Amino acid sequence: MNLDNQKNNHQSRREFVKSSSLLAGAMLAAPMLSKANFFSGSDDVIKIALIGCGNRGAGATVQALSTKQNVQLVAMADAFRDRMDSSLKNIMDEMSDKKNRVAVKEENKFIGFDAYKHAIALADVVILATPPGFRPIHFEEAVKQNKQIFMEKPVATDPAGIQRVLAAAKIAKDKKLNVVVGLQRRYQSSYRELIKRVHDGAIGDIVAAQAWWDNDGVWVHPRQPGWTEMEYQMRNWYYFNWLCGDHITEQHIHNLDVINWALDAYPVKAQGMGGREVRKGKDYGEIFDHHYVEFQYGNGAILNSQCRHIKGTMSKVDELLIGTKGKVFCDEARITDSKGKTLYQFDKKTDNQPYQNEHDELFAAVANGEFKFWDAERGAKSSMTSILGRMCTYSGQMIEWDKAINSGINIMPEKYDFAATPPILPNADGLYPVAVPGVTKYV
Ligand SMILES: NC(=O)c1ccc[n+]([C@@H]2O[C@H](COP(=O)([O-])OP(=O)(O)OC[C@H]3O[C@@H](n4cnc5c(N)ncnc54)[C@H](O)[C@@H]3O)[C@@H](O)[C@H]2O)c1
C-alpha cells in the first residue's frame, strides 16, 4: 500500500479539528470525517482542558489521559485555586508513569467564574465537571468554540438550563462535535447487553419499572469564617438546588436514565412525595433527603422511583424492568421470564470499566476523525426527568412533562461573582427555606 496516498486520503488531527470548525461555520450536513488513526507522528497530541477540578474532574482527566491516544492535559479552570491545586496533584500522582501527559503551564491555570472560556480555548477536547448548575453555560461555550466534549451528568438543574443544553446540543450535532455525557451505564457492557435484549423483545412490552438510589448521602462542607454567602454555597454546593438540583437530580438521574433508555422514551407526567427527615440544620441548605416519584410514560408504563440519603437505612442502587413476558434485574445483569426462569445472565466478571470506556470510545472517535457521539440531547432529557421528579416532590402536584420543560423556570443567579447574592438566602438563624408540598409551587 502506498503510505503517501493513504496519508493524503485522510485528514490529520489538526485538519479534522480545523475542518470541524470550518464546517461548523458552514453548517454542512454531510459527514466529512475519514477513519484514519492520525496518531503516529509528532504532531499527534490531543489537547484537553479540565473545567471543574474536583473529584470527578480529576478522575475523568486521568481516564482521558489513560486512553490509547496521545492525550495531554494543557489547561485547567476552577472557581478556586485550592481545588485546582489538589486536583492537579491527584492527577500527577495517578499519571506518575506518564508524566509528560500532564503539561499545564502556570499561565494556563485559570481561576474564577470566567476561567472556563480561557481553558476551553486551549483544548481540542474539554471535560466539563463543575457542579451541574454551570453545565449549560460551559457546554454552550464549548460548542461555540467547536470543541469535542465530555460532560458530566446532570447537564442542568432547571428547565431553562435544559432548554439551553438542548439548543446547544442541536448545534453540536450540526457541527459534528462528539459529545459524551457521563451517564456511564450507557458505556457499560452489562447494561448494553441487557438493554439490547430488551429492545429485541426479550421481556415483551415494558409495563412497569422500579429505580432506586438509596444510601447514606454525601459530604458536607460547613461554613468557614471569611466566606461570602456565594463562596459558601459554591463550596457546599450539594445542598443548593441552583448548583446541584437536589440528590434526585445529582445521583438518581443514573437510574432514571436507564429506564428512559430501556423504554426509548421520556415520561409524559409524574407525581410524587418527599421531604427531609434527618437532613436538618444550617449545613444542609434546601434539599430533601428522600423522594418517591411515580413517572408515567406515553405507552402507559409506570416507573416507581425512589432515592434516599438517610444513614442506617437500606442501601440499594438498581433498576428493575417488568415486561409482558419477563423481567430485567439490572444490578444482577439477569433477564428472567415472568415465572422467574433465567433467560439470560451476563457474566459480571467480564464487565468493563464504564468510566474508562467513556473516554476510550470518545478519544478513539476523535483520533479517527469520526463523529459518533451525540449524548447531549438524551442527557438533557434524562436530567429533565429528574428535575420533573423534584418539581413533583416539592409541590406535591401531578405535573406534565411538556408544561415543566417549557415552564421557563430558571433558578440560577443573575450575577456570578463572589460578592453577588445567590438566588436563595438563609434566615437570621442561618436556615434556608425548604419546599413544603401543598404550599410550594413549581421549583
Ligand atoms: N458519573 C458519575 O458517576 C459521577 C460521579 C461523581 C460526580 N459526578 C458529577 O461530576 C460533577 C462534579 O462532581 P464532583 O464530585 O467532582 O464535585 P467536586 O466538588 O469535587 O468538584 C467540582 C469542582 O468544580 C469547581 N467549580 C464550581 N463552580 C465552578 C465554575 N463556575 N467554574 C469552574 N469551576 C467550578 C469546584 O470548585 C470544584 O473544584 C457533578 O455534576 C457530579 O454529578 C458524576
Residue 41: is its pLDDT beyond 70? no
Q: Is the shortest distance between the CB of 55 and ligand 1 below 6 Å?
A: yes
Q: Which atom of ligand 1 is nearest to the CA of 251?
A: 43
Q: How far apart are CA 87 and CA 237, in angstroms?
A: 17
Ligand 1 pocket test: pick from 63, 78, 134 the residue with the most ligand atoms within 8 Å of its Cβ.
78
Q: Single out the residue of 121, 89, 110 nearest to residue 21, CA to CA.
A: 121
Is ligand 1 within 6 A of the CB of residue 54? yes
pLDDT at 140: 98
Is residue 262 in contact with ligand 1, taking CB distance under 6 Å?
A: no
Ligand 1 mean position, distance from CA 57 (Å): 6
Q: Provide the grid cell at 304.
A: 416507581
Confidence at 37, pLDDT banded by 50, 70, 90: very low
Tell me which residue has its CA closest to atom 25 in ligand 1. Answer: 52
Question: Does the C-beta of 390 come closer than 6 Å to ligand 1?
Answer: no
Report strand pairing: 125-128 vs 267-275: unpaired
User: Is the CB of 57 inside a 6 Å radius of any atom of ligand 1?
Assistant: yes
Q: How far is the CA of 80 from the centre of ligand 1 (A)?
A: 12
Pairing of strands 326-329, 125-128: unpaired
Atom of ligand 1 minimally distant from the CA of 77: 33
152 CB near ligand 1 (under 6 Å): yes
pLDDT one-digit tens code per residue, 356-377? 999 999 999 999 999 999 999 9
Q: Does position 49 have pLDDT exceeding 90, yes or no?
A: yes
Sheet holding 148-151, edge to edge: 109-111, 71-78, 46-51, 125-128, 148-151, 179-181
Confidence of residue 33 (pLDDT cuts 50, 70, 90): very low
- pLDDT attached to residue 44: 85
- Tens digits of residue pLDDT in 329-356: 999 999 999 999 999 999 999 999 999 9
pLDDT of the residue at 2: 32
Cβ 346 vs Cβ 190: under 8 Å = yes
CA of 183 to the centre of ligand 1 (A): 14
Separation of alpha carbons 239 and 347, rounded Å: 38
Q: Is the CB of 373 under 6 A from ligand 1?
A: no
Examine the pLDDT at 23 and tell me if it is beyond 60. Answer: no
Interval between CA 219 and ligand 1 midpoint (Å): 13
Which residue's CA is the nearest one to ligand 1's atom 17?
54
DSSP tag of 102: B
pLDDT for residue 441: 87
Work out the mean pLDDT of the chain and round it to a whole number.
92
Share of the chain above pLDDT 70, in %: 90
* CA-nearest residue, atom 5 of ligand 1: 56
Residue pLDDT, tens place only, 197-223: 999 999 999 999 999 999 999 999 999
For residues 48 and 367, is the Cβ–Cβ distance under 8 A?
Answer: no
pLDDT digit string (tens) for 135-167?
999 999 999 999 999 999 999 999 999 999 999
> Does the beta carbon of 274 lie inside 6 Å of ligand 1?
no
Supply the pLDDT for residue 443. 57
What residues contact residue 294 under an 8 Å CB cut-off, 6+ apart?
A: 270, 271, 272, 302, 303, 304, 305
Model confidence at 7: pLDDT above 60: no
The stretch 18-24 carries a mean pLDDT of 42
In the prediction, which pLDDT does 89 show?
A: 98
pLDDT of 11 over the 70 cut: no
| Model confidence pLDDT, tens digit, residues 228-280 | 999 999 999 999 999 999 999 999 999 999 999 999 999 999 999 999 999 99
